[in-house]
Amino acid sequence: MKKNNPYLADDEIDLGDLLRTLWREKILILFISIICSLLGYLYAYFKPEEFKTEIKIKNPPPQLFAPYSQFFTSNVNNNKVNNNNSIAGQFISDFQLNFLSLDNLEIFVEESRDLDTFKTYLKSRNISAKQYFEKKFGEAKEKNIINPNTYFLVFEKKILDGNIFLNNYANYVKKKNIIEFKKNLKLMIEHRINITDDALEIAKLINLDNPILKSADRQSQVINEPEALFYKGTKVLGQSIIIDKKLLQKLENDQFNYNPILEKGIALEINTKPSNFFLLIGLFIGFFLSLIIIFFKGIFKNN
């Protein structure tokens, strides 16, 4: 015994009735499928072209930091290394963190005078630069392995020139990193000058001009200085302060000049338009949607 639903008989689909129903509704199915396919085609056609570019960053030469290596420990990432490598490694690590910071990226956009079109686009979409770049910027990977010192940017050419943007951003981060690095280094030098100056005052109070030396033990012939800094005497301490003040002056004038860009990016298109993929997706959605409409149409008709 068949139920009211023309598609079912004993809780099973009647394939013959289903095919006849689809044939009767072929105009509706064709119309909806064409409309959805057209919408898919138009979506692909008007979808903004996106490009991807990469930039390879060059590490600064360690020689730039040699005069200041004494202010950094020889421990980087818990591995014993040369002091020059230590200070250069700290600078490189800070640069990488600053470069990947979306906050820095947003500040760069706000301060730039050459990104008016991009700023207008962000304002029209009511989004921040940080939100825009959240999934469009980061470390480049090859086979899911991070490519060292290489960063990518996905962008729309109408609103942003990705190659110029990345080049300018790299130089911006370099300048920002140098400012922060010099500020921290200045604090270290000034701190050592203050400690040495305090020790100098103590040495003056006890009239100690020359360093006091002592043997490490009775059997050893090795001569060491006592641990307290004032035992170095006024002559050594005074000269140390003069040297540190000269180093501080050198730091003020040091620009740490180097080119941070090893390889500039080349923009490659990562999507095309129009796309047959979206057309076929629209066709499938249209056919599926028409079946749903026919199903509910049958239910309302039987009721």
**What is the pTM assigned to this prediction?**
0.71
How much is the pLDDT for 298? 73
Output the 3-class SS for 53-82: EEEEECCCCHHHHHHHHHHCCCEECCEECC
Residue 258: which residues within 8 A CB-CB, separation 6 or more? 58, 60, 61, 64, 174
Q: Where are the domains of the chain?
A: 28-47+280-303, 50-269
Cα–Cα dist 154/267, whole Å: 9
Q: Looking at the domain that runs over 50-269, which CATH code has it been given?
A: 3.30.1890.10
CB count in 10 Å sphere of residue 284: 14
Whether omega before 211 lies within 30 degrees of 0, making that bond cis, reads: no
C-alpha distances out from residue 249 to 88, 96, 176, 186, 243, Å: 20, 28, 20, 10, 10
Instruction: Report residue 158 as tokens.
Output: 């109408």
- Taking only the tens place, the pLDDT of each residue in 55-65 is 999 999 999 99
- Angstrom CA distances, 190 to 102, 185, 235, 242, 255, stand at 32, 9, 20, 12, 19
* Per-residue pLDDT tens over the stretch 105-122: 999 999 999 999 999 999
Q: Token pair for residue 263?
A: 């390889």
Range with lowest mean pLDDT among 38-42, 260-264, 268-272: 268-272
